[in-house]
């Protein structure tokens, strides 16, 4: 009916594609009738010419409808999902999911694996031996019903068009375009059936969006798509100039999430968890004010219910929950190296991207989708922006498998830091909110 070459030409010249053209293109690409080389030319044309809001919504819905759309209506309560656009040290789901579920709000979540300098929730959860996110639709629903939480990987038939397109964008330098990111994320969120969505749009050098204006535009597009599809949607723009929390890797991040559920997490991480959590609780109708929501979250941590929920969640998905009781069982690599401060002063910069890259060099991240990762390597930062340091003090502890990989990581980590003689304020974590 259409010819792909004509659609590429149209987009290349900056024209908007019609709803029929977009639907035809996504259907054809999912079925394998449109080859990757034509679709990658289209993505590059979109990268330079952009898409209108109408095109973006049509693309999202076409990708949502390219596979199964989960029906969670059999589960009582307002099902909430949260999604982060990705960053370094982002172990939010592991702490926030159990906190919210322990308060009786059903959390039905789809998560991904890490790629490049960013980590992924699924890899982190697999630090619990036996843990699986390959859940059938029945088990996913059953777990949400019985224990209020389930985290599944993107199954082959959930938004398959996005799965194919994201992999293509990833290898053709077409990831960081706002309409493409928004439609990719929202197609999966809408297909996974929750009633309400809280979005964590990261901004900074460790995120897809490097400045607040772009992050707000991306958040606006995603919120409008969500609301247009009848889902309550709220977005927070959060800081990713430096890694979130202190731990970057897999086991080390699980450890930090457990500490947070024990009430001993890093302040910046806790702030982001609580900021997202309060909106999840309000959207679910569990709390009517922010103060009430925060008090509920503090209580569920203090009385041990949130940690108990993590235990239950890990066991329900086949993982060894004894690691929750005794996190010292989590594997840590044997070569331990301290990164020493080269001077006195205050930390004025700690770029997230090179820290994520250091974790990748250690083997804790994926250079390509097919790479295997090492759960035991990573780093624990001791000094972040605003902290005073003395020359020779440890900035960061590196856990590596070899002296060579440790050396490469140390060089990356040192390159991420800058220092100032003058006092430096701690950065703000939440820049803006929109709904
Ligand atoms: N995460 C996604 O799922 N898709 C994108 O395009 C970017 C981040």
Encode pLDDT of 345-362 as tens digits: 999 999 999 999 999 999
Is the predicted pLDDT of residue 75 greater than 80, yes or no?
A: yes
CB atoms within 10 A of CB 118: 27
Atom 6, ligand 1: which residue's CA is nearest?
Answer: 181
- Please give the number of the atom of ligand 1 that sits closest to the Cα of 169: 6
Is the predicted pLDDT of residue 372 greater than 90, yes or no?
A: no
DSSP character at residue 288: S
Indicate whether 119 and 258 sit together in one domain.
yes
Indicate whether 184 and 110 sit together in one domain.
yes
**Active-site residue flag, 162:** yes
Ligand 1 midpoint to CA 166 (Å)? 7
3-state SS string for 132-163:
CCCCCHHHHHHHHHHHCEEEEECCCCCCHHHH
The pLDDT of residue 113? 79
**Active-site residue flag, 169:** yes
Q: What is the rounded average pLDDT of the residues 205-218? A: 92
The pLDDT of residue 155? 75
- Please give the number of the atom of ligand 1 that sits closest to the Cα of 175: 6
Is the predicted pLDDT of residue 205 greater than 80, yes or no?
A: yes
Indicate whether 110 and 160 sit together in one domain.
yes
The pLDDT of residue 114? 75
The pLDDT of residue 315? 98
Is the predicted pLDDT of residue 326 greater than 90, yes or no?
A: yes
Indicate whether 301 and 386 sit together in one domain.
no
Going by pLDDT thresholds of 50, 70 and 90, the confidence category of residue 368 is confident
Ligand 1 midpoint to CA 207 (Å)? 11
Indicate whether 223 and 116 sit together in one domain.
yes
The residue range of the domain holding 42 is: 4-50
Q: Determine, yes or no, domain membership for 59.
A: no
The pLDDT of residue 220? 97
The pLDDT of residue 57? 97
Name the domain boundary from 325, 354, 373.
Answer: 325
Q: What CA–CA distance (Å, rounded) separates 111 from 93? A: 9
Q: Determine, yes or no, domain membership for 244.
A: yes
Indicate whether 121 and 171 sit together in one domain.
yes
Indicate whether 375 and 234 sit together in one domain.
no
Indicate whether 12 and 101 sit together in one domain.
no
Structure tokens at 106: 């059903």
Is the predicted pLDDT of residue 203 greater than 90, yes or no?
A: yes
Is the predicted pLDDT of residue 178 greater than 80, yes or no?
A: yes
Higher-pLDDT residue of 278 and 367 is 278
The pLDDT of residue 174? 93
| Residue 107 bridge partners (DSSP) | 80, 149
- Please give the number of the atom of ligand 1 that sits closest to the Cα of 184: 4
From 66, 84, 184, 194, the catalytic residue: 184
Q: Determine, yes or no, domain membership for 242.
A: yes
**Active-site residue flag, 83:** yes
The pLDDT of residue 370? 75
Is the predicted pLDDT of residue 120 greater than 90, yes or no?
A: no
User: Residues 150, 151, 155, CA angle at the centre, nearest 5°?
Assistant: 120
Atom 3, ligand 1: which residue's CA is nearest?
Answer: 185
Q: What is the rounded average pLDDT of the residues 173-191? A: 94
Q: What is the rounded average pLDDT of the residues 131-147? A: 93
Q: Determine, yes or no, domain membership for 160.
A: yes
pLDDT over 90 percentage in the chain: 87
Return the best residue to mutate from 51, 86, 219 for the ligand 1 pocket (most ligand atoms within 8 A of CB).
86
Q: What is the rounded average pLDDT of the residues 338-351? A: 98
Ligand 1 midpoint to CA 299 (Å)? 34
Ligand 1 midpoint to CA 186 (Å)? 9
68 neighbors 191 (Cβ within 8 angstroms): yes
Atom 5, ligand 1: which residue's CA is nearest?
Answer: 181
CATH code, domain carrying 189: 3.40.1030.10
Q: Determine, yes or no, domain membership for 358.
A: yes
Higher-pLDDT residue of 116 and 52 is 52
Ligand 1 midpoint to CA 208 (Å)? 9
DSSP character at residue 327: G
Indicate the SS3 state at residue 109. Answer: strand
Indicate whether 125 and 243 sit together in one domain.
yes
Q: Among residues 202, 204, 243, which one has the least CA distance to residue 381? A: 243
Q: Among residues 79, 14, 62, 19, which one has the least CA distance to residue 285? A: 79
Q: What CA–CA distance (Å, rounded) separates 62 from 78? A: 25
Ligand 1 midpoint to CA 426 (Å)? 29
Q: Determine, yes or no, domain membership for 429.
A: no
The pLDDT of residue 230? 92
Name the domain boundary from 50, 71, 88.
Answer: 50
Indicate whether 110 and 150 sit together in one domain.
yes
Higher-pLDDT residue of 123 and 390 is 390
The pLDDT of residue 268? 97
The pLDDT of residue 1? 83
- Please give the number of the atom of ligand 1 that sits closest to the Cα of 86: 8
Q: What is the number of structural domains in the chain? A: 3
The pLDDT of residue 435? 92
Pocket of ligand 1 (CB under 6 A): 85-86, 166, 175, 180-181, 184-185
Is the predicted pLDDT of residue 116 greater than 80, yes or no?
A: no
Torsional sign, CA 254, 256, 260, 263: positive
Indicate whether 321 and 351 sit together in one domain.
no
Return the best residue to mutate from 170, 185, 190 for the ligand 1 pocket (most ligand atoms within 8 A of CB).
185
From 10, 169, 178, 202, the catalytic residue: 169
From 64, 79, 83, 231, the catalytic residue: 83
Is the predicted pLDDT of residue 112 greater than 90, yes or no?
A: no
Q: Determine, yes or no, domain membership for 69.
A: no
Torsional sign, CA 304, 305, 308, 310: negative
Ligand 1 midpoint to CA 170 (Å)? 9
Encode pLDDT of 2-29 as tens digits: 999 999 999 999 999 999 999 999 999 9
Return the best residue to mutate from 184, 218, 225 for the ligand 1 pocket (most ligand atoms within 8 A of CB).
184
CATH code, domain carrying 415: 3.90.1170.30
Q: Highest mean pLDDT: which of 30-44, 157-171, 370-384?
A: 30-44
From 90, 123, 162, 195, the catalytic residue: 162
Ligand 1 midpoint to CA 181 (Å)? 5
The pLDDT of residue 119? 75
CATH code, domain carrying 16: 1.20.970.10
Indicate the SS3 state at residue 362. Answer: helix
State the maximum Cα–Cα separation within the chain, in Å, rounded to a whole number: 69
Q: Determine, yes or no, domain membership for 140.
A: yes
Indicate whether 321 and 337 sit together in one domain.
no
The pLDDT of residue 249? 95
Q: What CA–CA distance (Å, rounded) separates 234 from 212? A: 17
Higher-pLDDT residue of 192 and 28 is 28
């Amino acid at each position: 009916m259409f010819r792909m070459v004509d659609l590429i030409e149209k987009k290349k010249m900056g024209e908007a594609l019609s709803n029929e053209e977009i639907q035809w293109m996504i259907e054809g690409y999912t079925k394998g009738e449109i080859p990757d080389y034509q679709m990658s030319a289209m993505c590059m044309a979109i990268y330079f010419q952009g898409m209108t809001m109408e095109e973006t919504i049509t693309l999202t819905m076409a990708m949502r409808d390219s596979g199964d759309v989960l029906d969670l209506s059999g589960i009582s309560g307002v099902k909430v999902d949260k999604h982060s656009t990705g960053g370094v040290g982002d172990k939010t789901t592991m702490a926030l999911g159990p906190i919210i579920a322990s308060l009786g709000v059903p959390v039905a979540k789809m998560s991904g694996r890490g790629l490049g300098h960013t980590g992924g929730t699924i890899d982190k959860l697999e630090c619990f031996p036996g843990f699986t996110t390959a859940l059938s639709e029945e088990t996913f629903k059953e777990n949400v019903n019985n224990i209020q939480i389930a985290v599944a990987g993107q199954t082959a038939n959930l938004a398959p068009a996005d799965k194919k397109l994201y992999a293509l964008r990833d290898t053709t330098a077409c990831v960081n375009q706002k309409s493409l990111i928004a439609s990719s994320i929202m197609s999966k969120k809408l297909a996974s059936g929750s009633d309400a969505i809280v979005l964590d749009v990261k901004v900074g050098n460790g995120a897809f969006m490097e400045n607040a204006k772009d992050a707000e535009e991306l958040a606006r597009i995603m919120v409008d798509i969500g609301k247009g599809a009848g889902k309550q949607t709220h977005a927070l723009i959060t800081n990713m100039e430096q890694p979130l929390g202190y731990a970057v890797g897999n086991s080390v991040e699980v450890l930090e999430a457990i500490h947070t559920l024990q009430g001993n997490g890093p302040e910046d991480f806790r702030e982001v968890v609580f900021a997202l959590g309060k909106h999840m609780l309000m959207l679910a109708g569990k709390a009517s004010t922010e103060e009430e929501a925060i008090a509920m979250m503090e209580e569920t941590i203090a009385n041990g219910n949130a940690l108990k929920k993590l235990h239950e969640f890990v066991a329900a998905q086949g993982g060894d929950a004894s690691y929750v009781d005794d996190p010292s069982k989590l594997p840590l690599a044997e070569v331990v190296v301290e990164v020493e401060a080269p001077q006195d002063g205050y930390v004025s910069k700690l770029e997230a991207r090179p820290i994520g890259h250091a974790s990748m060099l250690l083997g804790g991240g994926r250079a390509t989708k097919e790479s295997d990762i090492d759960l035991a390597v990573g780093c624990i930062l001791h000094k972040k922006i605003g902290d005073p340091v003395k020359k020779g003090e440890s900035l960061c502890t590196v856990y590596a498998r070899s002296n060579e990989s440790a050396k490469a990581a140390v060089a990356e980590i040192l390159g991420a830091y800058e220092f100032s003689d003058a006092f430096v304020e701690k950065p703000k974590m939440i820049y803006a909110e929109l709904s």
